[in-house]
Chain A
Amino acid sequence: MSTAFVYRATASPQEAAVWTRRQILMTDLRTIVGRAYPRVRGMAREKSWVFFEVLLPFLATSAFVFVYRALQAPPEYIGFVVLGGAMTAFWLNVIWMMAQQLWWEKSQGNLELYFAAPMNIMSVLFGMAFGGFIMASTRAAAVLVVATVVYQVAFAIDQWILLIAVFFLTLAALYGLGMVLASLFLMWGREAWHLTQLLVEPVYFVSGLNFPVARLGMLGSLAIAILPLAVGLDAMRQLAFADSAYPLGTPGPAVEALILVAMTVVFTLLARWTLKTLERRARQEGRLSVRWQ
């Protein structure tokens, strides 16, 4: 029993309180892995996601495929829909499992344990994002593969590296936005639930999940300026169907990649600021780290 009660023997509390830079960095990195862990384990443990997260999105994607076929739209539109259907997994993950997560953590009593632990609270958000990314990637890949095979989508990719870079930049910016929303939703309390529902469909629409966003004109341009999903999806469509006539009205993929870089930086800094603000308010008002409110 005694070994369990003594782990890192320190001579005094003052000695134990002084950490090296390496200790601080490693704790933050371990926190990312630790917080991502329940998401990955949960996915392996609860297989029901295969039905809810693969088959149902596949049906929604199929509906648009049949509409485009009925309208005799160009064949690349089937590919646009399939790509959009795959990326839906990430948006749903961000809006439901990132944006609401801190609010949920508070109601479970986890949030005050996070605040009271020695790591940087940003690493908790990164952990949530990392775990969510792994979850959503599996789902997105499943939808993409199944829909591509079933509807015989033919991709024409010239710039593989740029496509992969845009994909990861899209996710970085998207999860950056999710981290910002997580803090904001927590501050707004119960309204977060309604806000999520309010955001889902409009963002689907203006992100052009099922059609090229250029079709939206000015609204599409605005979406590209503020929504990572819109700009990322637009760039990926241009890169994945390089031989197709893509509607004009949006920047080229290289420019959109730069927009994504800017978004990633802005959202990450904004997330850091909102989280610091959140912690300050939590300590001042005593509201945010306490359950049942």
Chain B
Amino acid sequence: MTAPELRLFDFRRTFGRRTSSQRTGRAVYSASLNGRPRGVTVSAESQPLAIDVRGIRRVYATKPQPVVALQGVDLQVEPGEFFGLLGPNGAGKTTLIKILTTLLLPSEGTAHIFGFDVVDQTKQIRRIMNMVAGGEQSGYGILTVREQLWMFSQFYGLPSKDGWRRVDELIEAVGLDEQREQRVSTLSTGQRQKMNFARGLLNDPWIFFLDEPTLGLDVAAARSVRELVLAWKAAVPGRTVLLTTHYMAEADELCERIAIVDHGRILALGTPDELKRRVQRESVFRIEVDRLDGGPATLRRLPGVLSAAAAAAQAEGQERQTVEVNLTLAEDSVLSTVVSALAERGSHLLALRKSEPSLEDVFVELVGRGFDEEALDETDVERDSIDHDDSDDAPAPDRTPDPRNTAHEPGEREEQEAVV
């Protein structure tokens, strides 16, 4: 890609007042190539970041004392990235997403979406983004699915006929054909969320904010929603997704990079593999061989092998056909030594699995507790910070846990089949 021609852009001279970028003393440039409008904030090396958050702090003025929801968050997301914010309730995820979607002002710091300032350039941002939240009950129950989506299409300026056509396409794409003429009030939770996704895609957003989108959905519906997002993103290069979730498996599956957030701070940021490597100090494998003369002790003597132990005993009376051994190695490369040693002893390797830490292990390592403990101990900062005396009769949001997560206890390692 040709590097954009850049020149220093004097906002004060042009607009007569300081921009938020100038307030932070950050260099601001204007691209004069690639058809970008003047004044768009770009880095000197590349086109504008999809999300560029610098020192964002958000304080809710609540009684008896203010609640700090975000404490100096820095975050950069490249165009085309699928980025995840992973954290427990009250971590600050929703607050950050509300700032990025122009619904909330930061108390301090700056945030830009594709170069547009979330404080001053809200209209531009609203034209290129959309958002879907978990448990969303938007719209009007008296309308049918088709009518409701058409109504929202009008808010994005689609011509009426185009709106109906686009609604029909999206209804088909999200798999709501049978519910097309059904009233919104009669939809199931999963169907409703599919409809919300169709709503979120009406305007062809360049950036899609998903705030716990699979909250309360069953396994099939959650999978369907995830597939939908991936298909949408893949259709056009450069489409960006910011997902907030406290379902680790979901973040692991979807996100190219993840930020683990807690108490308004980013504790760690990287690809799922990078994050897992932070807590993986040694390599753990389980091997299955047809026989192992001398038992696991023979492997223990190999250099770099920290431990080797027979896997749990098989059921009583069951004839042992193979031998399974759990190996802890100083590093992955020691595995070749083990494989060579097995071959020298006439053992045939039948299966090999590498055990990797889960993202929850990463979280436990970083904050010293699991998500479940967090959910029990902490109240939701975002909701607490905005709820006042009126909230006492409010319906509690649906917090049904994702069944997929029940298989992941804190500290449990997920096994990944690698080689046979």
Contacts and interface: CB of A to CB of B under 8 A. Distances in A.
B291 interface: no
A249 interface: no
Interface stretch (A10-18, A156-164, A176-184): A10-18
Interface stretch (B16-24, B134-142, B328-336, B370-378): B134-142
Contacts of B383: 290, 292
Contacts of A118: 123, 126-127, 155-157, 203
Given A41-B143, A190-B390, A31 B36 contact: no
A45 B184 CA distance: 13
Interface stretch (A1-9, A59-67, A76-84, A224-232): A1-9
B92 interface: no
Given A116-B102, A292-B391, A5 B232 contact: yes
A115 B40 contact: no
A195 B390 CA distance: 16
B111 interface: no
Interface string A103-143: 00000111011111111000010000000000000000000
B151 interface: yes
Interface stretch (A206-214, A252-260, A277-285): A277-285
Contact of A293 (B35, B103, B390): B390
Most chain B C-beta atoms within 10 Å of own C-beta, residue among A27, A117, A190: A117
A23 interface: yes
A45 B386 contact: no
A109 B156 contact: no
Given A8-B204, A11-B35, A17-B116, A34 B153 contact: yes
B104 interface: yes
A165 interface: no
Interface stretch (B164-172, B265-273, B274-282): B164-172
Nearest to B172: A4
Given A37-B151, A38-B140, A38-B142, A286 B36 contact: no
A14 B151 contact: no
B155 A31 contact: yes
A272 interface: no
Contacts of A262: none
Nearest to A5: B235
A292 B385 CA distance: 12
Given A14-B37, A41-B142, A290-B386, A34 B126 contact: no
A26 interface: yes
B3 interface: no
A13 B104 contact: no
Given A1-B173, A5-B173, A118-B157, A35 B151 contact: yes
B115 interface: yes
B147 A41 contact: yes
* Chain A contact patch, size range: 35 or more
Contacts of B124: 17-18
Contact of B103 (A17, A110, A289): A289
Interface in A42-69: 42, 45-46
Interface in A196-227: none
A9 B138 CA distance: 27
B35 A12 contact: yes
Given A26-B157, A116-B131, A14 B35 contact: yes
A189 B105 CA distance: 21
Contact of A286 (B47, B98, B128): B98
B9 interface: no
Contacts of A286: 58, 60, 95, 98, 103-104, 385-386
A123 to B, nearest CB: 9
A33 B203 CA distance: 17
B238 interface: yes
A287 interface: yes
A116 B113 CA distance: 14
B201 interface: yes
B28 to A, nearest CB: 15
Contacts of A283: 102-105
A10 B127 CA distance: 12
B48 interface: yes
Interface in B204-245: 204, 206-207, 231-232, 235-236, 238
A151 B366 CA distance: 80
Nearest to A2: B235
B206 A38 contact: no
Interface string B349-384: 000000000000000000000000000000000010
Nearest to B104: A286
Nearest to A285: B61
Most chain B C-beta atoms within 10 Å of own C-beta, residue among A27, A31, A286, A289: A286
Nearest to B136: A109
A11 B395 CA distance: 43
Interface in B178-211: 201-204, 206-207
Contacts of A108: 137-139
B140 A293 contact: no
Contacts of B391: 292-293
Interface of B: 34-37, 40, 47-48, 50, 58, 60-61, 79, 95, 98, 101-105, 114-116, 123-131, 133, 136-140, 142-143, 147, 150-160, 166, 169-170, 172-173, 201-204, 206-207, 231-232, 235-236, 238, 383, 385-388, 390-391, 394-395, 397
Q: Shortest 7 CB-CB distances between A and B: which pairs?
A: A34-B154, A27-B157, A292-B394, A4-B173, A4-B169, A5-B235, A17-B124
Interface of A: 1-19, 23, 26-27, 30-31, 33-35, 37-38, 41-42, 45-46, 108-110, 112-119, 124, 189-190, 282-287, 289-293
12 contacts: A10-B204, A12-B47, A14-B48, A18-B37, A33-B160, A34-B154, A42-B143, A45-B142, A113-B131, A116-B101, A118-B203, A292-B395
Given A12-B35, A190-B390, 8 more contacts: A1-B172, A8-B203, A26-B159, A34-B151, A41-B142, A109-B136, A109-B137, A292-B397
